[in-house]
Structure 1
Amino acid sequence: MTSGWAADLLLGCTVLLGASVQRLAGIGFALVAAPVLVLLLGPAQGVVLSNCAAGAISAVGLAGSWRQVRLTAMLPLVGAAACTVPAGSWVATRLPEPTLLAGLGALVSGAVLLVMSGARVPALRGVRGAFAAGAVSGFMNSSAGVGGPAVSLYAVNAGWTTREFVPNAQFYGVLVNAFSIAAKGVPRLTGPAWLLVAAGITAGAVVGKALADRVPERRARRTVLLLALAGGLTTLGKGLWGL
């Protein structure tokens, strides 16, 4: 749990950065923020806070774009994720902290590298691909807080444009994070920490929306992925050091 104003302030800044990224790109909160939140709060509390904040910022973005959601395409993703979230939660509560840190770092780093490569995976096409991506995403979201990359890879292989992807990713983010929170509960934070988290989400939504009109998509995406890779490798290193 966070202790002291400096740690709470760092927590709020991390949420602000992650929320800005999520509002800008549709995904990315957990990739950028989860490794830092885990280092600040520990694996269990850091992941569930990532779920709470990512779900909240997804809901903010979805409020203005829900009409663009492809429900028929999203139902297999959401249904498969709902089935694997409990398994991810079970794993997260039973592994020792160094193992969880190493696993989270490896998952984030590997997911970022796959997304950066623009990997084309025939198994991630069609309804079967949606079920596969949703199942992997649900497990990763509940256990490590990083469900977005699997959905992003599905979208790449389905040929979705960024404009199509963002509202659907926000819709998915609201539901899969709600499933994860239902399985694990809410994080235990102090009152000031909760206030800073709420302020970070609010400010991040404003900043992300403003940046969306000014920052070229390719540059923004590359910056997000590089930040996420740095965080993933740092978390992996700390986990391996503790083993």
Structure 2
Amino acid sequence: MLGGIVMTGASVQFLTGMGFALVAVPALVLVLGPGDGVCLSNCASGAISLIGLAGGWRRVRLAAMAPLIAASVCTVPVGTWVASRLPGPVLLSCMGALVTALVLFVMRGGRTEALCGVRGALTAGAAGGFMNSSAGVGGPPVSMYAVNAGWTVREFVPNAQFYGITVNAVSIASKGLPQVGGTVWELSAAGLAVGAVIGKVLAERVPEKGARRLVLLLALTGGVTTLAKGLSGL
């Protein structure tokens, strides 16, 4: 099951340029628990972003990304602190509710004047850093910023990958590696490898609009499931 979760998330990430955490985190926290599930997602997301950026690093807009990354670095420790002090069911409920709300917001257009300009970049970065370290889903605020800034998909993907490498590295440094056995790492690595191949093949065949809809539906399902699991344990 674990390998399949990572494979699905990796396929989505390579297909659309984002979405691993939205798709995989709800399932990972159900299988491994909130702490290790989020930590493993940080590791996998960072690895996928690193692989994806290999061919597009020249298109990274360093000036535009600087405030996003600076703000996220400041809020990662806060997210780590909050997550370490919440009971398991409460954390699951918060994660599920957060993912569900974000997906619904994106489905409705995800535009807001609060995410424009440098102030918007700082807001998106701060929210992304906190959410990445606490719930493993730091991408939506950055994608919403990109939408409001009018970035094309070609512009967004390498910058999102650059952000993913940085914020996940800081999150891992803040929390440490997940306390899981070697089998988990092996299954995760295999899932990443297979997912990368599937995602690249699908990227040549699936229209962007259809891929985006698939990501959102999978993420919404995962968010609702995690919310239900958390509420049932309260």
How high is the TM-score relative to the length of structure 1?
Answer: 0.95
Which residue of structure 2 aligns with residue 94 of structure 1? 85
Aligned match for 1:16, one of 2, 7, 25: 7
2: distance between equivalents of 1:212 and 1:102?
A: 33
Q: Percent identity?
A: 68
2: distance between equivalents of 1:95 and 1:103?
A: 10
Deviation for aligned residue 1:190: 1.6
Residue 38 of structure 2 aligns with an amino acid whose one-letter code is V
Residue 89 of structure 2 aligns with an amino acid whose one-letter code is P
Cα deviation code 1:159-178 (max 9, x no counterpart): 01111111110110000000
Unaligned runs of 5+ in 1: 1-9
What is the RMSD computed on CA atoms of the aligned residues? 0.7
Which residue of structure 1 aligns with residue 32 of structure 2? 41
Aligned match for 2:195, one of 165, 190, 204: 204
1: distance between equivalents of 2:67 and 2:204?
A: 32
Deviation for aligned residue 1:217: 0.2
- The alignment status of 1:123 with 2:114, answered yes or no, reads yes
| Counterpart secondary structure, 1:151 | helix
Deviation for aligned residue 1:208: 1.2
Aligned match for 1:133, one of 112, 119, 124: 124
| Counterpart secondary structure, 1:129 | helix
Aligned match for 1:166, one of 128, 153, 157: 157
Unaligned runs of 5+ in 2: none
2: distance between equivalents of 1:154 and 1:213?
A: 27
Deviation for aligned residue 1:117: 1.1
Which residue of structure 1 aligns with residue 206 of structure 2? 215
Deviation for aligned residue 1:119: 2.4
Which residue of structure 1 aligns with residue 181 of structure 2? 190
Which residue of structure 2 aligns with residue 55 of structure 1? 46
How high is the TM-score relative to the length of structure 2?
Answer: 0.98
Which residue of structure 1 aligns with residue 98 of structure 2? 107
Moved over 3 A (4+): none
In the alignment, is the contact (CA less than 8 A) between 1:45 and 1:188 conserved in 2? Answer: yes
Deviation for aligned residue 1:118: 1.2
| Counterpart secondary structure, 2:111 | coil
1: distance between equivalents of 2:75 and 2:17?
A: 22
Which residue of structure 2 aligns with residue 4 of structure 1? none
Judge which range, 223-232 or 185-194, deviates more: 185-194
| Counterpart secondary structure, 1:146 | coil
